[in-house]
Structure 1
């Protein structure tokens, strides 16, 4: 990869983290005006439809087995997003929620080890206690009684870790050896098609959940241009645009670049939340968030080291 491509990828990935952080602000504004699950349904159905339109040729070529794998990934993603948006709806501190959700990066290797028996480096197990210490500090203000919003963010992070693991396996081709000794090859799912299916499935899951739990009439009868703006911005900029740009940027970059830059998302969220909502954190909260951010870097230390050597 040329140095110009590397710089381009780095710049695009920084933009990706900014889009992801801005999406938190869009989403928080939207859930102040409409039920959270209904918002997620509209957001993801719109974003998924846009990507499905762009990737319709890929979707037409999918086998039933590939389609099933994509829907399975989307179902897990849908549960994770339902927990995340509930946490965002309940929280009074968006920046803190971003750091809690970022724990999914730390949980990914643990889930991969438990579910797929994948060996993990020492850095994974060193990062875990640091992350737990950060969680403890964030809950100290309640005497180790976490707020409901915090619990939903942590649950979402754990399910996001399962989603990331399943998504990685779905996006790559694999060869299995069956019990009778024969080999079975599983084709990879194209990134655009997989993302479109996952987003549409999230939209369907949250729409179904919303239909049972949330009143729609106040939102439909009082739908305003302001609310429409937040929903469209979240769907187009924070979801469809972000995922497409991230996929393109990662095709230009090495894994080390992508991983290190993308962990900056919670930092951007905290800064935007401070500027937009006037949020602030106590010394204890700042300490907890710092420990969580440190655990992200420890967990990805091999990537950090490669990046520093490259520089």
Structure 2
């Protein structure tokens, strides 16, 4: 199995872990302030990974450390918007599809900010994604709900995070403003993930300390909030993002994150099973259009996957 194939397989597992994380997070914000939950979740996960990554962390250069902190800071802003969206929404499935728009925006960020060439399918997907957003807002007379706005903002910032994470996890050559060629060493997956998670935890801890009450949570007689925090930290945060960063390090292209389009599908299914959620006709239509945009955005990859599947069946039959 090639590194590219391993990357795709690991990212599929990441989508399942991420979808389960939505359930953990939704349960947690019903029992405690959202930013407080995020701070506990990411600080626990980041501390655990930092212990495992201690030898690698000590070997990082100043440039590697600063780039990793930058990834974590952008990630922290995105996660702040995401958890506020989850806190303010009644439809976890809809929120997952809105957040998945980050996959569509990744190639745009890569093109506009870093000059990476993009296929025409990327630009065809954008108006379709916008149409899906419009359908999701029709029930409110084109007045998006607060949760929707948070999710859309999170998706935009996640796109920048995905691109920065991929570039930081891979070695590359850059030219500075003086025309000098500089080799940017990659940051190994484990220390990069540990630093990013600790940065997110520190950022959300500060936000929570400033804006949220804590006493009610610690006095809560229901201990399940502790369970949700630990489950989110170990499974949906530490394990998920370590595997995601490692998978991205196996592929030099920012397009690898397209596999993450599976996440909203799993979330929508789990929301029906776990919470008994239902969607209106407009919501289903909007989510379907957004998913179509995601498929168009990565049509070349989808086409190659279908071709490989057909060729595999033909080979098996002939054998």
What's the secondary structure of 2:182's corresponding residue? Answer: strand
Runs (4+) of structure 1 exceeding 4 A deviation are 8-13, 247-261
Q: C-alpha root-mean-square deviation of aligned residues, in Å? A: 2.3
- The residue aligned with 2:51 is 53
The C-alpha deviation readout for 1:154-213, integer Å capped at 9, x for no partner, is 000001011111112212222233454432222111111111110000000000011111
- 1:145 aligns with one of 116, 139, 143: 143
Moved more, 93-102 or 223-232: 223-232
Q: What is the CA distance between 1:74 and its match in structure 2? A: 0.6
- The residue aligned with 1:169 is 167
Q: CA 1:157 to 1:223, structure 2 compared with 1: closer, same or farther past 3 Å?
A: farther
Q: CA 1:165 to 1:256, structure 2 compared with 1: closer, same or farther past 3 Å?
A: closer
Assess if the C-alpha contact under 8 Å between 2:106 and 2:163 holds in 1: yes
> Paired residues, what number?
308
What's the secondary structure of 2:279's corresponding residue? Answer: coil
Structure 2: give runs of 5+ residues left out of the alignment.
310-319
Distance 2:72 2:36 in 1: 17
- 1:72 aligns with one of 55, 65, 70: 70
Structure 1: give runs of 5+ residues left out of the alignment.
none
Assess if the C-alpha contact under 8 Å between 1:256 and 1:303 holds in 2: no
The C-alpha deviation readout for 1:272-311, integer Å capped at 9, x for no partner, is 1111111101111111000111111111112112212221
- The residue aligned with 2:216 is 218
Are residues 1:32 and 2:36 paired?
Answer: no
- The residue aligned with 1:298 is 296
Distance 1:91 1:179 in 2: 45
What's the secondary structure of 2:173's corresponding residue? Answer: strand
Assess if the C-alpha contact under 8 Å between 1:10 and 1:253 holds in 2: no
Q: CA 1:179 to 1:151, structure 2 compared with 1: closer, same or farther past 3 Å?
A: closer
Distance 2:111 2:8 in 1: 30
The C-alpha deviation readout for 1:57-96, integer Å capped at 9, x for no partner, is 2111001111111111111110100000000000000000
- 1:103 aligns with one of 101, 104, 109: 101
Give the TM-score taking structure 2 as reference length: 0.90
What's the secondary structure of 1:176's corresponding residue? Answer: strand
Distance 1:89 1:179 in 2: 43
Distance 1:189 1:251 in 2: 9
Distance 1:23 1:197 in 2: 20
Moved more, 226-235 or 108-117: 108-117
Q: What is the CA distance between 1:16 and its match in structure 2? A: 2.5
Distance 2:108 2:137 in 1: 23
Matches within 5 A, 1:98-137: 98-137=96-135
Distance 2:182 2:71 in 1: 21
Q: What is the CA distance between 1:261 and its match in structure 2? A: 4.3
